[in-house]
Amino acid sequence: SVAQAVKAATKFTPTKDDYQKVYNAIADILEDNDYDDGSYGPVLVRLAWHSSGTYDKNDGSGGSNYATMRFPSEATHGANAGLDVARAKIETVKEKFPWISYGDLWTLGGVAAIQEMQGPKIPWRPGRIDGYAKDATPDGRLPDASKVADHLRTIFYRMGFDDHAIVALSGAHALGRCHRNRSGFDGPWTFSPTTFTNDFFTLLMNDKWTWRKWDGPRQLQDKTKTLMMLPSDFALVQDKEFKKWVKVYAADQDKFFADFSLYFSELLELGVPRAQFVSSEPWIMKSTEEQSS
């Protein structure tokens, strides 16, 4: 009937399969030999993290629900420098699937990037809604790389995470690199910045790290002078409680993958009211590899 046709045209309820299509479209835009190390994966992981890590458990503000990085007041925070690149890239997917919210799109971007870069499955479910400029968070909620253990605890405890989670989540620095024109820091953490591994931890434990002599912000370098660590990364082996977990993850990649999956999934849901999620349990999206076999 006409009434049914009108209803169908105005109210589209996406299924898990529709979200799998979005996942696949994101997977499709990751590789690009002209960008960084050949993939937009790392910067999409960073977008997912910064869109979620603004959460404050004390008043429920921030987090991934409203995608407030769309607004200049939040996009211009120093910590978000360079994420315009990630937002512009994933906008090409939004054009094909205009029904998805930005919060869902950006967090699914992080999920697809991790899984496609050989990382663990990240349980994820949709339900975030686009908010308003008034929902944007104040500057200073994301961690400062020039700071150490106390600061990391202040920032991550505010999100509701503990020491174990801080270390597990930090393992994402196996991916990507620092850009002089974004954060001021320079270089990659590992020799395979587009593959998800526990290398961040093995390098942190086993390499000899010395302060780089240069005109940029204080950072460490390995003996080959090609890899880097931030002061905040190095804090993970200077602090006794943190170092326990660094050791565990350096010795056991499977344990790292399992814990990272749990905490990253939790991170991506910060600030989203339970009732908004379309399913009671997160979903496991299929990798492109699984779908082709």
> Is-contact 232 148, C-beta < 8 A?
yes
Pick the closer one to ligand ZEM by CB: 185 or 257: 185
Rounded CA-CA distance 109/80 in Å is: 16
Token couple for 220 = 């460490």
Which one from 49, 50, 106, 124 is the annotated catalytic residue? 50
Q: Which residue is nearest to ligand ZEM (CB)?
A: 176
> Minimal CA–CA distance to 31: which of 195, 225, 247?
195
CA atoms of 143 and 249, how far apart (whole Å): 22
Q: How many Å apart are CA 86 and CA 89, to the nearest integer?
A: 5
Q: In whole angstroms, how far apart are CA 234 and each of 24, 183, 221?
A: 36, 17, 11
Question: CA 288 to CA 293: how far, in whole Å?
Answer: 9
Residue 225 DSSP code: S
Cα 141 to Cα 1: distance, rounded to the nearest angstrom: 52
Closest CB 214 distance from ligand ZEM, rounded Å: 15
Nearer to ligand ZEM, 155 or 272 (CB): 155
Report DSSP state, residue 133. G
- Helical (H) or strand (E) element with 91: helix 83-96
Contact indicator for 193, 176 with CB cutoff of 8 Å: yes
Using CB under 6 A, list all residues that contact ligand ZEM.
42-43, 45-46, 49, 82, 143, 145, 152, 169-170, 172-173, 175-179, 182-183, 185, 230, 232, 264
Q: Least distance from C-beta 85 to ligand ZEM, angstroms?
A: 8
Asked if 173 is an active-site residue, the reply is no
| Active-site residue identified among 49, 189, 209, 245 | 189
**Token pair of 250, please?**
């350096």
The residues annotated as belonging to the active site are 50, 189
